[in-house]
Structure 1
Amino acid sequence: MNEEHELYLKNIKRSKVKITILRIAILVIFIALWEIAAQLKWIDPFLTSSPSRIVKSLVEFIKEGTLATHIWVTCYETVLGFVLGTVLGVIIAILLWSSETASKVLDPYLVVLNALPKVALAPIIIFWVGNGTSAIIAIALLISIVTTIISVLTGFKEVDKGRILLMKTFRASKWQTLRYLIFPACIPVIISALKINVGLSWVGVIMGEFLVAREGLGFLIIYGGQIAQLDMVMMSIVILSVIAFIMYEVVAVIENKLIKKDNVYN
């Protein structure tokens, strides 16, 4: 490794550290200004809460011993909805890619389902699968699966036609073409679908918990709003933000590993 390359790597590390410091600084400044504004009555703490009141509410829930249960319920529903939506979406995309006729026939239906507000189907889903966890997971699945199918299928179709023709020339089966060409070429698309599904799964779960739950962070948000306890609402939102960020970072780690693995093979 020459000096220029070492200098380049050092500059990259410095840039990453600088960005991390700036991100933390922005968050700290925001929290400090929020607390100061609430303490000096520049804003109404009853309407906007404050960091200190959120921490107080968090401590109270921890002492009651119920917060862990609410977090676990929401995380379980979200992860299950996320995994099912992603796996089933990719499988259906593969099936549609393997049959051009089925893809063309079902394309308008996928477009309509993607455009349809899923909250409109929530009462029907609750009636079909019951008033409980199964309904919440089903709503999260419905929201994420259509987007996954469309994005992954589009990625499959955009793979270089010349490469596909070359695979056919070597008499490769559709499975071989999928395994050795389509999937490696579409890793960025699949990762992008994973990142999108992180947010969509949370939307579906919180929406479901608003409607039917008796536990979970979504339930705390809607219950806190009903009894005018905005500290509870803000606490739940902050916890949701932290967990969603962690999920997104997990997907980012998977992305880095897959990209490094793909680079090794290339």
Structure 2
Amino acid sequence: MGRSRRRTPMTANAQDDFGNVVQRSPAPPAHRWKRWRVAGLVLLTQVALLAALLALWERATGQDKQAAFMFGSPSAIFGFLGQSARDGSLWRDIYVTGFETLLGFVIGNFFGTLIGLLLWYSRFVSRVVEPFIIALGSIPIIALAPIIIIWFGTGLISKVAMSTLSVVIVALVTSYKGATGVDADQVNLMRTLGASKFQIFRKLVVPASLTDIFAGLKLTVGFALIGAIVGEFMSSSEGLGHAIFKAGSLYIIPKVFAALIATIGLALLLTFVVGRLERLLMPWRKVQ
């Protein structure tokens, strides 16, 4: 009593003191302008650093043929990108690798997240399976490639399996961490109010775990892409992994970098989609 409570200005959707989602008024123009100015300054600095790096790289390789052979040059790299974009091979490789990555990403995260959340139901079961999960997670994915090819052949299924296996353990661990990190007082409160274990799971555990689940989703984008590309390294006739492997075996370093740039672009695109999905499913949380 006698102590006033300070409230922060309402600038976005949030929760009130009773846990209800409330609609906050938009940020004032001055605040928005400051935020845009900072974002613009960050972007300008990033572009300047990238331009300086490319200029130094071009200058160093332009004066030394051996360096140009070993490291390529930005002009040669973008030349290969333009050539492959015009003949359609770039878009075909991006489509193949992207499709394999997306399937592995969705399947691996679905089963990993489902198992991780369900392990919240029984601490006994989670303790029993913990060493097996750690053992599976410690196996390098490239070591499984020969077995995967024997089991599933050299087609699409083997690449999707590699991508899925790269994702599933990470998704399982992050979702289980989110489920077990739920506030015990909130769980006890729901039990006191007569909630069943399934109601606690559906209305408390799952929503409270979304932050960790989406953190895992952002992390597993790269793992799914690695799994697909490793599978293409082992046996494939198309895809970005095949393009990297073929160019590397022929010592065409600029073409290797061109395929790597396309791979980075694909990863950034998938990460952006996950971020938009997070904003859609968690509107009450301001995503940084």
**Counterpart in 1 of 2:135?**
112
**Counterpart in 2 of 1:140?**
163
Partner SS state of residue 260, structure 1: coil
Alignment partners' CA distance in 2, 1:6 and 1:231: 46
Relative to its length, the structure with more helix (as a share) is: 1
**Partner residue of 2:63 out of 21, 40, 45:** 40
Alignment partners' CA distance in 2, 1:23 and 1:256: 25
**Counterpart in 2 of 1:207?**
230
Alignment partners' CA distance in 1, 2:94 and 2:141: 24
Q: Deviations over 1:152-190 (max 9, x none)?
A: 101100111111111112222233212211122122101
TM-fit CA distance, 1:100: 2.5
1:84 and 2:107 are equivalent in the alignment: yes
Q: TM-score, normalised by structure 1?
A: 0.91
1:235 and 2:236 are equivalent in the alignment: no
1:247 and 2:270 are equivalent in the alignment: yes
Q: Deviations over 1:115-147 (max 9, x none)?
A: 221221221111111122111110110111011
Alignment partners' CA distance in 2, 1:56 and 1:7: 44
- Provide closer, same or farther for how the CA distance between residues 164 and 35 of structure 1 changes in structure 2, counting only shifts above 3 A: same
TM-fit CA distance, 1:215: 0.7
Alignment partners' CA distance in 1, 2:129 and 2:94: 38
TM-fit CA distance, 1:197: 0.5
TM-fit CA distance, 1:5: 5.2
The unaligned stretches of length 5 or more in structure 1 are none
Q: TM-score, normalised by structure 2?
A: 0.85
Is 2:178–2:210's contact at 8 Å kept on the other side of the alignment? Answer: no
Instruction: Pick the structure with greater CA Rg.
Output: 2
> How does 1:1-266 map onto structure 2 within 5 Å?
6-41=29-64, 44-261=67-284
Equivalent AA in structure 2 for residue 247 of structure 1: L
**Counterpart in 1 of 2:5?**
none
Is 2:94–2:239's contact at 8 Å kept on the other side of the alignment? Answer: yes
- Provide closer, same or farther for how the CA distance between residues 131 and 196 of structure 1 changes in structure 2, counting only shifts above 3 A: same
Alignment partners' CA distance in 2, 1:189 and 1:256: 14
Q: What percentage of aligned pairs have identical amino acids? A: 32
TM-fit CA distance, 1:42: 8.3
The unaligned stretches of length 5 or more in structure 2 are 1-8, 11-26
Alignment partners' CA distance in 2, 1:69 and 1:6: 45
TM-fit CA distance, 1:238: 0.8
Is 1:37–1:43's contact at 8 Å kept on the other side of the alignment? Answer: no
Alignment partners' CA distance in 2, 1:29 and 1:201: 32
How many residues align? The count is: 262
Q: How large is the Cα RMSD of the aligned pairs?
A: 2.1
Is 1:133–1:213's contact at 8 Å kept on the other side of the alignment? Answer: no
Is 1:184–1:262's contact at 8 Å kept on the other side of the alignment? Answer: no
